[in-house]
């Protein structure tokens, strides 16, 4: 009896040591990521692609979003554990042993999730960005666009090149002209909605593979993008797509208007290739779409950055409506296509919603802002807007 008791204590001790080593491993990986860009770049180049070509290949076989299923299970298991603990207290520790095993399993699951999130997400936040890797004239100072008073309104932290409001205006007018020209070339239904008969997800993935011929990190196997099952709930958060690090999936909102699909597919696939920064993913999605052979994808690409560029330009001229009116006008057709959801779809989402959209959006934005800042992205959600700086850099020497 004494021997059995010692074996039990020895087993518990070994378990605790192994678990502690696991925690230390996660901490060391994150510490290395925060301290060394070189380590992160090496990891993305040599190790990260393995997860997409193995684990990502397996989840791609499943026709529905594995990430959504995992989120639901995580919530359900957590709630079960809380309820089980309360019930055990009520029954005076009658289920102490089963609860102990449940706790151990939960702890190991949580540790596994920490490793997956570290390997598929957290390390990526400390690597070199797209412009640092592939856009030659990168300096150390902020990229800026000066407004009338000379203050900076746009910055990306990647280039010492400063851009004037005239150069931003040239970029803005170019984007608007492309949108206006392409908008009238597509078949539409009676309500003015665009009719597209092809497979947008397949075409967008094809566009990413093509872009990979120019940018090495975008080469190799691509996971299969999937529509989110609970797109209504994600619409309430104004989310067009989601990269699930723990399932290596690129998931797309199925409710949003058709012009958003292709850029979102490319954006989320960029994340699966190791480009975790939102401005980088926006830029990659833009480039993939506008370089596509499909004119609809090109239109969607220009539309995907229109708001960012137009808003920054408007701010750069001090929101002067008269001066703004002297520039290329955004056509009514383009304005109608430049939406997240149609009115009918919004009504459907609101009708089915269990919680008000304003509340869901507020909580979602707070979580996203916190997540980005915890991973070293000081500008938080404003990082999405910094695609303008990358566009200014990309078109330098071509438009101005």
Note down pLDDT in tens along the chain; length 400 residues: 445 556 656 667 888 899 999 999 999 999 999 999 999 999 999 999 999 999 999 999 999 999 999 999 999 999 999 999 999 989 888 888 999 999 999 999 999 999 999 999 999 999 999 999 998 654 333 444 443 333 334 434 444 578 999 999 999 999 999 999 999 999 999 999 999 999 999 999 999 999 999 999 999 999 999 999 999 999 999 999 999 999 999 999 999 999 999 999 999 999 999 999 999 999 999 999 999 999 999 999 999 999 999 999 999 999 999 999 999 999 999 999 999 999 999 999 999 888 878 787 777 777 767 776 776 666 655 555 789 999 999 999 999 9
- For residue 197, count CB atoms less than 10 angstroms from its CB and return exposed for 0-12, middle for 13-18, buried for 19 or more: exposed
Predicted pLDDT at 16? 87
Same domain, 217 and 319: yes
Contacts of residue 253, Cβ cutoff 8 Å, sequence gap at least 6: 227, 228, 231, 234, 235, 239, 240, 241, 260, 264
What residue spans of the chain are helical by DSSP H? 2-35, 37-46, 48-53, 55-61, 66-90, 96-120, 130-134, 165-183, 200-211, 231-236, 261-272, 278-290, 295-316, 321-325, 332-337, 343-352, 357-374, 387-394
Give the count of beta carbons closer than 10 Å to the beta carbon of residue 198: 10
CA angle centred on 156, ends 340 and 275, rounded to 5°? 65
Contact predicate 126/37, CB 8 Å? yes
* End-of-domain residue from the set 76, 109, 126: 126
In a domain, 400, yes or no: no
* End-of-domain residue from the set 126, 156, 174: 126
Predicted pLDDT at 363? 75
Predicted pLDDT at 358? 79
**Which residue has tokens 């300096």?**
139
Predicted pLDDT at 151? 35
Same domain, 116 and 6: yes
Same domain, 233 and 100: no
Same domain, 205 and 114: no
Same domain, 151 and 40: no
Give the count of beta carbons closer than 10 Å to the beta carbon of residue 178: 18
Residue 17, both tokens: 């040591």
Predicted pLDDT at 377? 64
Same domain, 138 and 200: yes
In a domain, 77, yes or no: yes
* End-of-domain residue from the set 104, 126, 148: 126
In a domain, 214, yes or no: yes
- Report the distance separating Cα 65 and Cα 107, nearest Å: 25
What is the value of pTM for the model shown?
0.88
- From residue 197, how far is each of 170, 188, 330 by CA, in Å? 34, 11, 26
CA 78 to chain centre: 26
Number of domains making up the chain? 2
**DSSP category for residue 152:** B
In a domain, 260, yes or no: yes
In a domain, 241, yes or no: yes
Predicted pLDDT at 91? 85
Same domain, 27 and 138: no
In a domain, 399, yes or no: no
CA proximity to 128, closest of 47, 30, 217: 217
Same domain, 186 and 93: no
Structural domain range at position 336: 130-394
For 224-253, the DSSP string reads --EE-TTHHHHHHTT-SEEEETTTTEEEE-
Same domain, 116 and 142: no
Give the count of beta carbons closer than 10 Å to the beta carbon of residue 176: 21
Same domain, 135 and 174: yes
Same domain, 272 and 361: yes
In a domain, 380, yes or no: yes
Same domain, 86 and 143: no
Residue 333, both tokens: 């057709």
């Amino acid at each position: 009896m004494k021997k059995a008791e010692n074996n039990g204590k020895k087993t518990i001790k070994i378990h605790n040591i192994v678990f502690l080593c696991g925690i230390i491993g996660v901490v060391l990986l994150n510490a290395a990521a925060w301290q060394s860009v070189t380590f992160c770049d090496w990891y993305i180049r040599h190790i990260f692609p393995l997860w997409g070509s193995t684990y990502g290949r397996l989840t791609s076989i499943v026709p529905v979003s594995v990430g959504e299923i995992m989120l639901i299970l995580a919530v359900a298991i957590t709630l079960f554990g809380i309820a089980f603990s309360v019930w055990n207290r009520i029954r005076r520790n009658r289920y102490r042993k089963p609860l102990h095993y449940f706790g151990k399993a939960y702890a190991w699951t949580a540790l596994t999730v920490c490793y997956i999130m570290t390997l598929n997400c957290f390390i990526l936040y400390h690597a070199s960005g797209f412009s640092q890797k592939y856009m030659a004239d990168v300096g150390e100072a902020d990229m800026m666009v000066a407004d009338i008073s000379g203050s900076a309104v746009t910055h990306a932290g990647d280039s010492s090149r400063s851009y004037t409001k005239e150069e931003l205006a040239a970029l803005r007018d170019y984007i608007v002209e492309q949108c206006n020209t392409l908008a009238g070339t597509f078949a539409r239904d009676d309500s003015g909605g665009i009719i597209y008969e092809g497979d947008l997800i397949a075409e967008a993935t094809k566009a990413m593979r093509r872009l990979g011929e120019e940018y090495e990190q975008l080469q190799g196997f691509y996971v299969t993008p999937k529509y989110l099952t609970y797109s209504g709930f994600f619409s309430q958060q104004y989310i067009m797509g989601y990269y699930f690090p723990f399932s290596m999936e690129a998931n797309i909102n199925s409710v949003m208007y058709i012009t958003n699909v292709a850029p979102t597919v490319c954006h989320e696939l960029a994340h699966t290739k190791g480009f975790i920064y939102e401005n980088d993913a926006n830029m990659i999605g833009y480039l993939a779409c506008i370089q596509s052979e499909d004119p609809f994808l090109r239109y969607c690409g220009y539309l995907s950055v229109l708001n960012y560029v137009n808003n920054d330009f408007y701010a750069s001229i001090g929101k002067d409506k008269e001066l703004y009116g002297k520039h290329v006008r955004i056509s009514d057709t383009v304005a109608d296509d430049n939406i997240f959801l149609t009115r009918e779809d919004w009504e459907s989402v609101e009708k089915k919603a269990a919680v008000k959209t304003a509340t869901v959006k507020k909580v979602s934005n707070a979580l996203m802002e916190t997540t980005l800042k915890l991973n070293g992205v000081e500008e938080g959600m404003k990082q999405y807007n910094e695609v303008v700086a990358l566009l200014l850099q990309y078109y330098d020497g071509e438009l101005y």
